[in-house]
Amino acid sequence: MKNFINIGGTEEEQVEQISKWLKNNGMQIVAGIVIGLSAIWGLGYYADVQDKEAENARTLYLNYATDTSNTGAYDQLLADYGSSSYADQAILVMAKQLFDAENYNGALSLIEPLISSDEIAISSIATLRAASVYLQLGQHESALSTLDSHSGTNFSGLVNNLKGDIYVDLGNTANAQTHYTLALNSVTANSTLSQLIQIKLDDLN
């Protein structure tokens, strides 16, 4: 059950990704989360320098994200702008490549350091993806404890959705229903994501 979702785009675009994934991955889908990583760099000359650095980092990120065989761009981004949000995004893309290649431990080694990121979006997606890798490995307790360590209430719907998937994999229907219900109550009503969660709930009945 592979459950990584591509980074980028709007929330609606990501939900559309989830919908398309159903055709290829079945109902055991772990919803990703869209990362919006913009920054205000300040004023004056320092701002100009930072803007240039951000543009360079963005260019390297796009060069890699649009062609993941371009590992030179990835390496340069991490070497020159390793503390930037673009570097973190690139690491998440690289982790997805490793996940798709079934190198789950390699993916975890890249994702786990990002869980402690100061940026809530990076931390949240890293938490969700690390937990999804643990689920793929059948390490359910690690998956659950990883999610329990995440306190970002803005992402409670996604956390509970994934917990529901974990409990389904454990055969614990009652807990799965509980967390899918919590997830359903936390996401936008009548959205594609809410409809998918409702389908999961219906499948358990």
Query: What does the pLDDT read at residue 25?
Result: 43
CA distances from 172 to 64, 142, 181 (A): 41, 16, 14
Query: What does the pLDDT read at residue 157?
Result: 86
- With contact defined as beta carbons under 8 Å apart, do 159 and 153 qualify? no
Query: What does the pLDDT read at residue 8?
Result: 42
Run means of pLDDT, 10 residues per run, the chain, 205 residues? 45 48 40 28 40 87 91 96 91 91 95 91 88 94 92 76 93 95 88 87 88
Closest CA to 82 of 61, 67, 65: 61
Query: What does the pLDDT read at residue 94?
Result: 93
Domains and CATH numbers, the chain: 11-204 (1.25.40.10)
